[in-house]
């Protein structure tokens, strides 16, 4: 459960026929839903593999903030002032568009202005902060130089016009204004075939959607070449804990030192909660989720028993810290890679993609944004993850998890509340060994972030089916769970 799931989003049917449309949007997270919103009335449809919002969006902490340590601040620190300026402008325009939708369509989503701070424990960073502060001022931003005493880091700067909101209430508000748009849930695109003037998108249930334009808003360029995913990005896992606090301090902050941590507050059922995100790492580099959760709890001096909710999630970071919002081939668009800043980033994605589809004058950010599509370095890191996955020392596993050989293959047996859960812990996507996440009781892929529950059912792709024992015993039986 994520904290936003107190709001139930509308349910949509599963696609059970062939269709022809102008634009298909694949993926129903922040990017997909907002792209559909930009394209409403224009013969577009959205397909979502599971439920709307069930991807990374579900576990976001919902800060709408342009003061980002791994993008704006890092561009500036590296001397890329022009890029920082273009990025800042694009972020401000996206936030202002989001704000205007919220006001114009009366979307009640707990959207509140808060101050946001970028903080550090190192005095050396003060030098960067003061020149960054001049940069922000030159770009019309009011800068706060005093850090509130309740933030445990002494150095930093802040800004005022940043926001927090309830992402599911926001999505619900947008969806209520798209009653005529076609949305399908539990409809996964498994293959895309390029025709002469159209793309043919095949669903897991064997239906086909013919479209002139395809918008990939589901992260993974699976259409490109499945085995080379991801080709220009790395996947980072972040951990989130939510606990009750006496007061909503009405600010957000981000620690610039690694591992970054960020904080916001939220009011929920008449209580105040603090949401802390941190321990972010490349998924190929660590598998001990319990240790990361414990580190985060230690950092915020909160006892495990006082944590109300905890979860981890994987997002996409690009090699040059710019989002990938691009027409990768004619009429085929990709919007992802927001460096864990997808609230405003997804609005930028939706605006750019819809403006590219309509060939409206290019938005300023477009020209400066792109890098080659192919980054061999990440293929190596993927390959490295594959090899390491086979040799991880899984000494953090509990005694309730054991391995037993069956027909020459190591099966995992996990005992939980007197029940035995048996899976073949190898990812059907590319054969990486899965790691058991004791905290969330899931099997996670350290190569490409597919996720399975303790019975082996698929929770998240790019894998296309689960790892239940049936699959091990008889491939054809398991494939039945993935319709023809």
Ligand X SMILES: Cc1cc2nc3c(=O)[nH]c(=O)nc-3n(C[C@H](O)[C@H](O)[C@H](O)COP(=O)(O)OP(=O)(O)OC[C@H]3O[C@@H](n4cnc5c(N)ncnc54)[C@H](O)[C@@H]3O)c2cc1C
User: Residue numbers of the site for ligand X (CB under 6 A)?
Assistant: 26-32, 47-50, 54-57, 59-63, 188-189, 217-219, 238, 240, 277, 313, 315, 336, 338, 340-344, 346, 461
Nearer Cβ to ligand X (292/331): 292
Q: How far is the CB of 360 from ligand X (least distance, A)?
A: 22
Greatest CA separation for the chain:
68
Using N-to-C axis directions, what is the helix angle for 81-104 and 167-176, rounded to 10°? Answer: 60
CA angle in degrees (0–180, nearest 5) for 59-85-31 = 30
Nearer Cβ to ligand X (69/240): 240
Q: What are phi and psi of 147, to 5 degrees?
A: -90, 130
Question: Which residue's Cβ lies closest to ligand X?
Answer: 342
Q: How far is the CB of 36 from ligand X (least distance, A)?
A: 11
Determine contact, residues 171/51, Cβ cutoff 8 Å.
Answer: no
Nearer Cβ to ligand X (240/289): 240
Nearer Cβ to ligand X (71/434): 71
DSSP three-state, residue 176 = helix
Q: How far is the CB of 265 from ligand X (least distance, A)?
A: 12
Nearer Cβ to ligand X (15/469): 15
Nearer Cβ to ligand X (156/278): 278
Please give the full DSSP string across 202-255, using - where no structure is assigned: EETTS-EEEEEEEEE-SS--TTT-GGG-SSSEEEEEEEEEEEEES----EEEEE
Nearer Cβ to ligand X (164/385): 164
Q: Pairing mode, if any, of strands 189-194 and 199-203?
A: antiparallel
Q: How far is the CB of 52 from ligand X (least distance, A)?
A: 7
Lookup: tokens for 457: 């059912």
Q: How far is the CB of 312 from ligand X (least distance, A)?
A: 7
Q: How far is the CB of 109 from ligand X (least distance, A)?
A: 14
Determine contact, residues 437/401, Cβ cutoff 8 Å.
Answer: no
Q: How far is the CB of 30 from ligand X (least distance, A)?
A: 4
How far apart CA 267 and CA 270 sit, in angstroms, is: 6
Nearer Cβ to ligand X (63/421): 63
Q: How far is the CB of 390 from ligand X (least distance, A)?
A: 26
Lookup: tokens for 14: 């599963």
Within 375-442, residue ranges assigned H as helices are 376-391
DSSP three-state, residue 340 = coil
CA-based nearest residue to 209, from 462, 11, 461, 15: 15
Determine contact, residues 120/256, Cβ cutoff 8 Å.
Answer: yes
Nearer Cβ to ligand X (289/414): 289
DSSP three-state, residue 270 = coil
Is the bond into 230 cis (omega within 30 degrees of 0)? yes
Q: How far is the CB of 400 from ligand X (least distance, A)?
A: 27
Determine contact, residues 88/159, Cβ cutoff 8 Å.
Answer: no
């Amino acid at each position: 459960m994520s904290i936003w799931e107190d709001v139930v989003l509308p349910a949509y049917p599963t696609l059970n026929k062939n269709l022809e449309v102008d634009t298909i949007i694949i993926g129903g997270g922040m990017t997909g839903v907002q792209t559909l919103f930009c394209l409403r009335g224009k013969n577009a449809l959205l397909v979502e593999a599971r439920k709307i919002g069930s991807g990374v969006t579900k576990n976001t902490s919902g800060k709408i903030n342009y003061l980002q340590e791994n993008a704006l601040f890092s561009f500036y620190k590296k001397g890329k002032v022009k890029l920082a300026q273009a990025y800042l402008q694009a972020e401000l325009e996206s936030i202002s568009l989001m704000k205007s939708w919220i006001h114009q369509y009366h979307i009640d989503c707990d959207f509140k202005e808060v101050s946001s701070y970028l903080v550090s424990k190192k005095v050396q960073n003060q030098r960067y902060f003061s020149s960054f502060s001049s940069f922000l001022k030159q770009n019309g931003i009011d800068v706060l130089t005093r850090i509130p005493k309740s933030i445990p880091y002494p150095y930093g700067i802040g800004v005022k016009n940043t926001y927090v909101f309830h992402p599911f209430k926001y999505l619900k508000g947008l969806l209520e204004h798209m009653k005529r748009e076609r949305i399908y849930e539990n409809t996964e695109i498994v293959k895309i075939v390029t025709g002469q003037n159209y793309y043919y998108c095949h669903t897991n249930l064997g239906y086909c959607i013919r479209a002139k334009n395809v918008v990939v808003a589901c992260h993974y360029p699976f259409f490109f070449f499945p085995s080379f995913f991801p080709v220009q990005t790395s996947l980072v896992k972040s951990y989130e804990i939510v606990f009750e606090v006496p007061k909503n301090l009405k600010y957000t902050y981000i620690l610039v030192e690694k591992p970054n941590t960020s904080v916001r507050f939220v009011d929920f059922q008449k209580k105040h909660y603090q949401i802390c995100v941190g321990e972010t790492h490349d998924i190929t580099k660590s598998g001990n989720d319990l240790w990361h959760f414990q580190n985060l709890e230690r950092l915020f001096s909160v006892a495990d028993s006082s944590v109300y909710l905890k979860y981890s999630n994987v997002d996409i970071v690009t090699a040059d810290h710019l989002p990938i919002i691009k027409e990768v081939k004619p009429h085929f668009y990709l919007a992802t890679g927001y460096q864990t800043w997808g609230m405003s980033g997804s609005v930028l994605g939706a605006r750019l993609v819809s403006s590219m589809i309509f060939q409206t004058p290019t938005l300023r950010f477009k020209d400066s944004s792109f890098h080659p599509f192919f980054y061999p370095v990440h293929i190596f890191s993927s390959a490295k993850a594959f090899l390491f996955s086979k040799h991880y020392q899984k000494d953090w596993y509990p005694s309730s998890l054991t391995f037993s050989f069956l027909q020459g293959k190591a099966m995992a047996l996990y005992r939980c509340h007197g029940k035995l859960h048996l899976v073949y812990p190898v990812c059907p996507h590319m054969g990486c060994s899965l790691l058991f996440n004791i905290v969330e009781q899931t099997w996670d892929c350290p190569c490409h972030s597919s996720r399975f529950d303790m019975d082996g059912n698929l929770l998240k792709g790019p894998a296309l089916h689960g790892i239940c024992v049936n699959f091990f015993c008889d491939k054809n039986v398991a494939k039945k769970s993935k319709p023809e």
